[in-house]
A and B are shown apart, each in its own frame.
Chain A
Amino acid sequence: MSVLFGIIFMLLVQSSIAERTRDKMYQAITGASCFRRLNATHQTGCSSPFSGSVGVLHLISTAVDIDFLVNKPPAPPYAPVIPPHLFTRDNILRIKNDAAKYVSAIILINKIDKLIDFSHELKCPNPFSGLISEQTCDPSKQETTWNPYGTGLLHEDFPFPIYYVADNKEIQKIIDCFEKFNNFDVKNQKHRSLCSIQVNSFMSAAVNSEVCIRRTGVFNNLTPTKFCDPLQGRNIYTTLFPRPIVDPVNRVVDESEKIILVSARLDTTSFFDGIGLGAMDSLVSFATLISVAHLLATLIPDRNAGQKNVLFMLFNGESYDYIGSQRFVYDLQKKDFPTKSTSTNILTLENIEFMIDIGPLDDLNNLKIYYAKEFPYEKSFKSAIDEYNAKFTLGLNITEQQSLNLPPTSAQSFLRENISFPVVIVTSNSPKNKFYHSIYDDGTNIGFKYQNTSQDFTKLDTFGAESPFEANSTQIKIRNTATGLAFALYYLVTREVYQKDQIASSVLIDEFLYCFLESADCPLFKAASPPNSLPGLSGPPLRYISVAGGSQEAAGWTLRLLGYLVGSKVQNAVKKNCTEPPLHWIAGFNGTGECRLTKSNYSSAYSPAFSIEGYDWQSGKYSTWTESTWFPMSARIFLQPSKTHEASIRRVVWNLPFKFTHNNASSLLKLAKKTVTKKMKGRRFKIYQLKTNKSTTLIFFNTL
């Protein structure tokens, strides 16, 4: 008795937290999953089965370890844990093709110590749109390709999920668990419990966009199901000078209105959901365009008679067969640009006198100007850059090349309609990005270090003045390139040579890169927003085009930025007189609020393929990319019972209750109407059928 109370007392003092058994069995692993996209003919990406993929963790440290997976491993299925330097086309396709039976998921861990290159885009991006027949980009000829490091895995279809774990703590959880339970006596793994992972990333869509859109349209029950959504977003544009306001019902095409179009790419993409900054593949040219626009807007605040207007445009969805620029060209042809609500005249392709497309700027010192056909503007453009290059010692080395093998940029959508379209593509001399469209194309890839100067980013740099940035820093290199482009444009717009010594702002570039690479809660975005508005998220804005209902945060911030940096300041305005668009009341650099006459707006980046009735999916005319819908994606590690343990439990326990009933009821069973002996899966069963007085039939199995 006293012992009993002793025990009770002893246990009384020991606290216990009520928790479910489950909490002790699983550990969640945060990460990002690869997902499924579809085009007119194929599905790409990956998906798990509906209930998730379960695999035994197996760390791959060298390429040889993959042999283990291919050669009948002891306790399949496995989930190989792969560091990025082994995530190569050869290795992954070997797992996909030779070890598909034994592999249920791939876990990519963020161990970059041996990483050299990592790009899963194709060697020739967007091969099925733009100038298809003229292109000579050939994946087998390295020198003709635009992404020589590309593996093309982004365009492969995987029957298993691929999960990326970035956080070091999470990686450690996985590796610790693997070392503790799996990484010894590997041959006899099936005789013990093994550390395993379950990845849930089931994708609803299958086959291709056509099938998926058709299935989505079928109303076979009261709650319609969506299987996939077209990729869509917004193009952001601004004009250098305000365009004349007209009556929205009487909008016409003014053939005398000539504009210069300057474009860059807004979006980027990567293998995994929600990760991928696209620093070198698109953000550098994006920064260049913003910088050019800001410099020009500051130098030419008012339009003189006869000056051409400049349209700065950021195209969205260009990574997926030029969605944004295709739509823009389509809208121009249909006379739908700009939208009615802007109350400005309609533009057509003929209004564009000259287009400068800023392509990837992997190497900011060595630029190349590509053009398809010779036209007068091209020569004067190059000579203008050369002139300012010398004047401001920008250190640019510019060459030009006429070619039909053009970089995969927005210009392709225009040239496809008209090969003589007056467009030049400004890009780096040769592709140097080792992380094109990948999760590792980040600030480090472009050597970006945020200086946080706290200086006014709307003030221009003065040529020759001391700068807080090193001469070969990314900020200065972008500033120099932007300055060269901007003054060439200055010449084309004003037909005058710039005489003073102001050049593009390096502080603006520093702040811009910080916002898009590190945190949206940044001084520049704050200055471009209304005073006291909610700050941006602590992470960088997502620049993947995404689908309808996606956050569109990059486009939203860009719209505000262009409004702020290109919009002209209305002097002596007060807040209450600054509410009607295009007037906007925004915080400004010192946060006190200022009134800007904005010229920015957005246009749709939604592939015409989805809005044309009866579009021929096989025609290849427009982008057909859709993204599958999915349930929340997750992964967790746990201990999977050994195969032997399970089998023994099945043998011992399964039969026990029946033996029990059998012994108690032997007399009853003698009354059985029918006994049948059956053989199932190599074992013999005796089946007893009993009729009771309530005419229910009881059936008993007994193993023999």
Chain B
Amino acid sequence: MTVAEFFGCTFLAFGPPLAMFIFTIAHDPIRIIILIAAAFVWLLSLLISSTFWFAIVPLREYLSFGLVFSIFFQEAFRYVIYIVLRKTERGLQEVTQNSRVTENKHILAYVSGLGFGIISGAFALVNVLADSVGPATMGLLSGTNVFFITSAAQTLCTVLLHTFWSVIFFNALDTSRYSHVAYVVISHLFVSCLTLFNKQELYYATLIPSYLVTILTGILAFKVVGGSLVTVKRFVTCQ
């Protein structure tokens, strides 16, 4: 039955984030709290953008209007969580037993980014997943039966991107590299607007560029946190 498809899509979208959560976050209560706080802040951004969507009449008709607005709100709230985390740093230092969280600023960025990603991924995919349980697949009136799997892949892409974006964004604000902030906002806009192609079922046009951007952003985030070819080599050879 389509139950297999449901589980397949769920794990495709949320398997990697789940693994990241288990191996990098679950062991530290402070990180869990920050993850959830970040998810909450993303929800606030959703609330505000949906209020706008509902209140401003032209937004309701055109998906792309709402989409662009929503991205600006998300980025604004990414800034909000940045401010909040920096303001509460000292407090965190007091409560945490593990001083790495506050010493390595990238950890906080990574955790809040993952929080953003997981919750936005959940909101993007939950309705689709609920419909995928069956007994039907797409394709009766419109759409193709790869719809579910492409949606799941797109969601995974969004989750990873949010993580990378937060890392880049936080570092950019710390070091005043505003070109990086601009990169985050523009690549966010770019990837989100690409999804508008899904309506025409141009999934290749959406997924391939999205994943290219994800890889690029990943590399940039890796560099931002101090990674280089040397560190990759060391990791691979287990030195």
Interface residues of A (CB under 8 A from B): 1, 4, 7-8, 11-16, 18, 20-22, 24-27, 54, 177, 193, 195-196, 198, 637-641, 645-647, 649-650, 652-654, 656-658, 660-661, 664-665, 668, 692, 698
Contacts and interface: CB of A to CB of B under 8 A. Distances in A.
A638 B12 contact: no
A664 B138 contact: no
A15 B138 contact: no
Interface of B: 1-2, 4-5, 7-9, 11-12, 15-16, 18-19, 22-23, 27, 61-65, 68, 127-128, 131-132, 135-143, 145, 147, 149, 186, 189-190, 193, 196, 199
Contacts of A11: 63-64, 193, 196
B140 A27 contact: yes
Contacts of B136: 25-26, 196, 638-640
B53 to A, nearest CB: 10
B142 A196 contact: no
Contacts of A54: 135
Contact of B128 (A21, A26, A647, A664): A21
B185 to A, nearest CB: 12
Contacts of A640: 135-137
Contact of A12 (B65, B139, B145): B65
10 contacts: A4-B189, A14-B199, A24-B140, A25-B136, A54-B135, A195-B140, A639-B140, A657-B15, A657-B19, A658-B15
A25 B144 CA distance: 10
A442 to B, nearest CB: 33
Contacts of B196: 7, 11
A24 B143 contact: yes
Contacts of B199: 14, 16
Which residue, of B27, B135, B145, has the highest number of chain A Cβ atoms within 10 A?
Answer: B135
A653 B15 CA distance: 10
A661 B19 contact: yes
A661 B64 contact: no
A650 B8 contact: yes
B12 A25 contact: no
A16 B62 contact: yes
B139 A193 contact: yes
Would you list the 9 A-B pairs with minimal beta carbon distance, nearest first?
Answer: A657-B15, A653-B8, A638-B136, A641-B137, A650-B4, A657-B11, A16-B63, A25-B136, A21-B131
A664 B7 contact: no
Nearest to B140: A639
A645 to B, nearest CB: 7
A14 B196 CA distance: 10
Given A25-B136, A645-B145, 14 more contacts: A1-B186, A8-B68, A8-B193, A11-B63, A12-B64, A24-B138, A193-B139, A640-B137, A645-B137, A649-B8, A649-B149, A656-B11, A665-B23, A692-B27
A637 B141 CA distance: 11
B138 A25 contact: yes
Q: What is the predominant secondary structure among interface residues of chain B facing chain A?
A: helix
A525 B142 CA distance: 48
A649 B140 CA distance: 20
B190 to A, nearest CB: 6
A649 B5 contact: yes
Given A16-B62, A20-B131, A661-B22, A637 B12 contact: no
A385 B138 CA distance: 69
Which residue, of A25, A650, A658, A698, has the highest number of chain B Cβ atoms within 10 A?
Answer: A25
A193 B68 contact: no
A692 B26 CA distance: 11
Nearest to B12: A653
Nearest to A668: B23
Contacts of B142: 24
Contacts of A654: 4, 7-8, 11
Contacts of A15: 61-62
Given A54-B135, A657-B16, A646 B1 contact: yes
B64 A8 contact: yes
A638 B11 contact: no
Nearest to A23: B141
Contact of B9 (A13, A196, A653, A658): A653
Contact of B127 (A1, A20, A24, A193): A20
A692 B23 CA distance: 12
Which residue, of B5, B27, B128, has the highest number of chain A Cβ atoms within 10 A?
Answer: B5
Contacts of A652: 8
A4 B63 contact: no
B4 A637 contact: no
A656 B13 CA distance: 11
Which residue, of B8, B135, B136, B139, has the highest number of chain A Cβ atoms within 10 A?
Answer: B136
Contacts of B140: 24-27, 177, 195, 637-639
B8 A664 contact: no
B193 A4 contact: yes
Given A24-B142, A26-B140, A27-B140, A638 B16 contact: no
Given A21-B131, A641-B2, A657 B139 contact: no
A696 to B, nearest CB: 10
B193 to A, nearest CB: 6
Contacts of B138: 21, 24-25, 639
Contacts of B186: 1, 4
Contact of A660 (B5, B19, B65, B141): B19
B15 A660 contact: yes
Nearest to B17: A657
Contacts of A22: 131
Contacts of B139: 193, 639
A513 to B, nearest CB: 42
B135 A638 contact: yes
Given A25-B136, A657-B15, A664-B23, A641 B5 contact: yes
Contacts of B61: 15-16
A308 to B, nearest CB: 66
Given A646-B1, A657-B15, A657-B19, A24 B190 contact: no
Contacts of B19: 657, 660-661, 664-665
Contacts of B145: 193, 639, 641, 645
A195 B5 CA distance: 18
B23 A649 contact: no
A656 B64 contact: no
Contacts of B7: 653-654
A653 B139 CA distance: 21
A556 B22 CA distance: 69
Nearest to A637: B140
Nearest to B16: A660
A21 B193 contact: no
B66 to A, nearest CB: 9
B113 to A, nearest CB: 18
Nearest to B189: A4
Contacts of A13: 62
